[in-house]
């Protein structure tokens, strides 16, 4: 009896663990975020030079030692929002708050672990702007500048990223503490993930649009269905981990692209899970459900746009504007997926009424 009371108390207070992890991660951001070589450049000889590597803390957000490193604002904001979402979860125990916190923890962790490129990129863009180079020279300068700066993660980014990962793991545990995954649900999730992978392979044969790094695709539709029926936590697991890892391997570009191009980019699928109730608990087509489908898919497309856009900047040296233009396909794919979901809306609500797995997951 005493053991049952202890388990019940732990289950009801699991939210304390991600809260502690989040607070430690926020404190860690006060430590050095990046260590990089200040770069010198001689325009007469087109040669770069580097000075002794120095560590830089949060002051670089406001222009210390170079340009304002604006990408760092994202992990700061995501971490703070992740911590704040745990407060309503503690009082309501609604899965959505913990799932949202988990997503934000993951996003902040991934961005922190790749943030060694943020400082060099921000400084390169600012310096190029001052020099007023032509487009070809800008690209060459940015790539060379970042390579010379040779930024490394500081102890603050490593510590905060680690505790953000722990925060995501404990937030997931808190959201799933009173739920079980039955065999039928496991089979359904596995089958939908497999269909998504097959669709992804099929859409590889569709050429990319001019100026885009990807093509229009509806391969994420089965993953949207998982999020709708099983909630955002399982939707994130299916899209970012299962589907993300498989497609990262089958695409053949390298596992080093997984954090941004696959994990972060596909994590937006889970957003549609927050709209499961107004979408599926209806008897027929209705304006509220259609608006929720469109809004959820566009929001998911925006997350994919951010993940792939940051990857274009960090991994390929794109300028900010070029990365934005090259990844606009994410919105086209999101809109196409939304239209398919709207077309399938009546079968989906009938399926959910006959096999209400989401209702079981919410209990």
- Alpha-helix runs per DSSP H in 181-286: 183-203, 221-230, 232-236, 244-251, 265-267, 276-280
pLDDT confidence of residue 363: 41
What average pLDDT is seen over the chain?
A: 81
Q: Is the pLDDT of residue 12 over 70?
A: no
Residue 283 — very low, low, confident or very high, per pLDDT cuts 50/70/90? confident
Tell me which of 121, 154, 178 is where a domain ends: 178
Considering the entire predicted model, what is its pTM?
0.72
- The CATH number covering residue 78 comes to 1.20.140
pLDDT confidence of residue 297: 94
Mean pLDDT within 76-100: 86
Residue 182 — very low, low, confident or very high, per pLDDT cuts 50/70/90? low
What φ, ψ does residue 286 adopt, rounded to 5°? -155, 155
Q: Is the pLDDT of residue 351 over 50?
A: yes
pLDDT confidence of residue 360: 45
- Is the same domain home to 146 and 241? no
Q: Is the pLDDT of residue 233 over 70?
A: yes
- Is the same domain home to 116 and 215? no
pLDDT confidence of residue 141: 79
- Is the same domain home to 113 and 57? yes
State the chain's maximal CA–CA distance in angstroms.
Answer: 80
- The CATH number covering residue 268 comes to 1.10.1760.20
Residue 351 region by backbone torsions, left for phi larger than 0, else alpha for psi between -120 and 50, else beta? alpha
Mean pLDDT within 88-97: 82
DSSP for residue 43: T
pLDDT confidence of residue 134: 63
Rg, Å, the chain Cα set: 22
pLDDT confidence of residue 179: 60
- Is the same domain home to 113 and 222? no
- Is the same domain home to 235 and 350? yes
pLDDT confidence of residue 4: 46
Q: Which residues, other chains included, contact 267 with Cβ-Cβ below 8 Å and sequence gap of 6+?
A: 103, 106, 107, 236, 239, 240, 303, 307
Residue 133 — very low, low, confident or very high, per pLDDT cuts 50/70/90? low
Mean pLDDT within 328-334: 91
Tell me which of 178, 203, 229 is where a domain ends: 178
Residue 7 — very low, low, confident or very high, per pLDDT cuts 50/70/90? very low
Calpha distance 199→221 (Å, rounded): 9
Q: Which two tokens stand for residue 113?
A: 């672990």
- Is the same domain home to 195 and 77? no
List 41's β-bridge partners, or say none.
48
- Is the same domain home to 93 and 207? no
Mean pLDDT within 231-236: 86
- Is the same domain home to 326 and 344? yes
pLDDT confidence of residue 358: 47
CB 40 within 8 A of CB 153: no
Tell me which of 117, 151, 178 is where a domain ends: 178
pLDDT digits (tens, 9 = 90+) for 20-33: 889 999 998 888 88
Q: Which domain holds residue 77?
A: 1-178
- Is the same domain home to 82 and 144? yes
More confident site: 300 or 116: 300
Pick from 98-112, 153-167, 200-214: least confident: 200-214
Calpha distance 339→252 (Å, rounded): 29
Pairing assessment for the beta strands 39-42 and 47-50 based on DSSP bridges: antiparallel
Chain mean position to CA 237 = 12
Q: Is the pLDDT of residue 65 over 80?
A: no
Helices (H) and strands (E) in the chain, counts: 18, 5
Torsion of CA 118, 120, 122, 124, to 10 degrees: -150
- Is the same domain home to 106 and 188? no
**Number of structural domains, the chain?**
2
- Is the same domain home to 106 and 194? no
Task: State which H helix or E strand residue 295 sits in.
Answer: helix 287-316
Pick from 146-150, 222-226, 238-242: least confident: 146-150
Q: How far is CA 322 from CA 14, 139, 144, 211, 316, in A?
A: 43, 10, 18, 9, 11
Residue 211 — very low, low, confident or very high, per pLDDT cuts 50/70/90? low
CB 149 within 8 A of CB 118: no
- Is the same domain home to 218 and 288? yes
């Amino acid at each position: 009896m005493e053991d049952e009371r202890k388990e019940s108390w732990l289950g009801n207070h699991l939210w304390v663990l991600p809260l502690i992890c989040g607070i430690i991660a926020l404190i860690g951001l006060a430590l050095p975020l990046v260590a990089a070589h200040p770069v010198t450049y001689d325009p007469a000889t087109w040669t770069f030079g580097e000075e002794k590597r120095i560590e830089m803390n949060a002051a670089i957000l406001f222009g210390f030692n170079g340009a304002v490193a604006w990408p760092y604002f994202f992990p700061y904001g995501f971490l703070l929002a992740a911590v704040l979402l745990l407060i309503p979860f503690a009082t309501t125990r609604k899965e959505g708050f913990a799932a949202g916190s988990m997503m934000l923890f993951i996003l902040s962790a991934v961005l922190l672990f790749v943030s060694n490129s943020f400082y060099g990129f921000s400084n390169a863009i600012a310096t190029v702007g001052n020099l007023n180079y032509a487009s070809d020279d800008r690209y060459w300068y940015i790539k060379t500048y970042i390579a010379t700066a040779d930024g490394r993660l500081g102890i603050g980014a490593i510590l905060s990223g680690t505790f953000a990962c722990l925060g995501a793991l404990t937030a997931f545990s808190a959201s799933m503490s009173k739920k079980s995954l039955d065999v039928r649900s496991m089979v359904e999730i596995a089958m939908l993930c497999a269909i998504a992978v097959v669709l992804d392979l099929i859409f590889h044969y569709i050429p990319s649009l001019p100026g885009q790094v990807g093509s229009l695709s509806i391969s994420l539709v089965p993953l949207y269905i998982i999020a709708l029926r099983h909630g955002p936590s399982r939707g994130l697991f299916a899209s970012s981990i299962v589907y993300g890892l498989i497609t990262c391997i089958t695409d053949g570009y390298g596992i080093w692209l997984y954090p941004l191009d696959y994990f972060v980019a596909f994590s937006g699928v889970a957003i549609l899970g927050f709209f499961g109730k107004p979408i599926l608990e209806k008897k027929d087509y209705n304006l509220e459900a259609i608006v929720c489908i469109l809004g959820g898919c566009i929001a998911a497309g925006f997350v994919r746009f951010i993940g792939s856009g940051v990857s274009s900047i960090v991994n390929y040296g794109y300028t900010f504007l070029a990365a934005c233009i090259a990844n606009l396909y994410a919105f086209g794919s999101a809109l196409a997926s939304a239209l398919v979901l709207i077309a399938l809306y009546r079968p989906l609500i009938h399926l959910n009424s006959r096999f209400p797995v989401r209702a079981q997951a919410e209990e």
